[in-house]
Amino acid sequence: MLLHYIVWNVRPEIFILPETFPLIGGFSVRWYGLLFALGFVLGYLILQKMFKKEGVPIKVLDDLATYMLIFTIVGARLGHCLFYEPGYYLAHPFEILKIWEGGLASHGAAVGILIGLYFFSRHYHRSYFWVLDHVVLVTALAGFLIRMGNLMNSEIYGDVTTLPWGFIFVRDGLTVAHHPTQIYEALSYLFLFVFLYRYYWKHDGRPVEGRIFAYFLIVLWTVRFLIEFIKLPQVDFESHMMLNMGQWLSIPLIIGGLVILYISGKKAIKPATK
């Protein structure tokens, strides 16, 4: 029997505590939160191995993890509020704090991370590109896990499709199959992580500074740009745009990656001094 579509009716909660449970009755543990946290845990372990290879003290990694956690969440939340629904959130600023109600933007997270890591590099007197090369490598893996969390939430899916791997997201009230764009992105990010990780070790933990960051920007945001063509608009105003907000925000990041790749290439071919 040929597959025509996949019925997706997975609950976003792993478990919910009974209302009678003391103090935290009704509290739920969700797949998205678990996968988001797992991204940080696995990223920490991978960076620990890389830092050990390079002889960097573990305290540097601990502080880096703190910077990453804070600036990722703040940037992702502000990115959603200011890029996609500025009118509402500027009129209701306290709503910005309600992260648990949803609304995180990967472009905002990218900006937040870039700012946070700049301050980190200044504090530890490290090259900015050295820091970025390490962080984006594990960010690609975290992106894979976050998009799988979106799948468990039945959110951020694509247009209607007749392809056999189309998903009917029952919990979102759909009755026809749509592109599972969460899976498309997740697999792309996983491939990117494997590529960058192998590239790092192929160069014995000493690749040209900026090269990993450049590859990350070019591949990840090109993938995002292309997949946005089959993704449903996140907010109403995008339906009237030639390119949606996610695509417009991806373009400067792709260009930035190409510029950094060019600069890192010039460093790689710099003649040796006599």
What span, in angstroms and rounded, lies between the C-alpha atoms of 218 and 223?
9
The predicted model gives 55-65 an average pLDDT of 91
What span, in angstroms and rounded, lies between the C-alpha atoms of 20 and 33?
23
Residue 84 in contact with residue 235, Cβ under 8 Å? Answer: yes
pLDDT tens digit sequence for 86-124:
777 778 777 777 766 667 777 788 788 888 999 999 998
pLDDT tens digit sequence for 203-212:
999 999 999 9
Identify which of 121, 122, 143, 119 has the alpha carbon closest to the alpha carbon of residue 131. 121
What span, in angstroms and rounded, lies between the C-alpha atoms of 187 and 193?
10
* Confidence tier at 25 by pLDDT (50, 70, 90): low
- 62 within some domain: yes
Find the DSSP H helices in the chain.
Answer: 31-54, 58-79, 86-91, 106-124, 128-152, 181-202, 211-227, 245-268
Share the mean pLDDT of the chain: 86
* Confidence tier at 77 by pLDDT (50, 70, 90): confident
> Comparing 1-15, 33-47, 189-203, which segment has the lowest mean pLDDT?
1-15
- 214 within some domain: yes
- 258 within some domain: yes
Token output for 68: 């990453």
Q: Which domain holds residue 10?
A: 6-17+31-234+241-268
- 218 within some domain: yes
pLDDT at position 73, please?
Answer: 83
pLDDT tens digit sequence for 128-150:
999 999 999 999 999 999 999 99
pLDDT at position 272, please?
Answer: 44
pLDDT tens digit sequence for 8-24:
999 988 887 766 666 66
Count of domains forming the chain: 1
- 274 within some domain: no
The predicted model gives 162-174 an average pLDDT of 92
- 161 within some domain: yes
pLDDT at position 93, please?
Answer: 79
- 152 within some domain: yes
- 26 within some domain: no
Q: Give the 3-state secondary structure of residue 51.
A: helix
The predicted model gives 176-192 an average pLDDT of 96
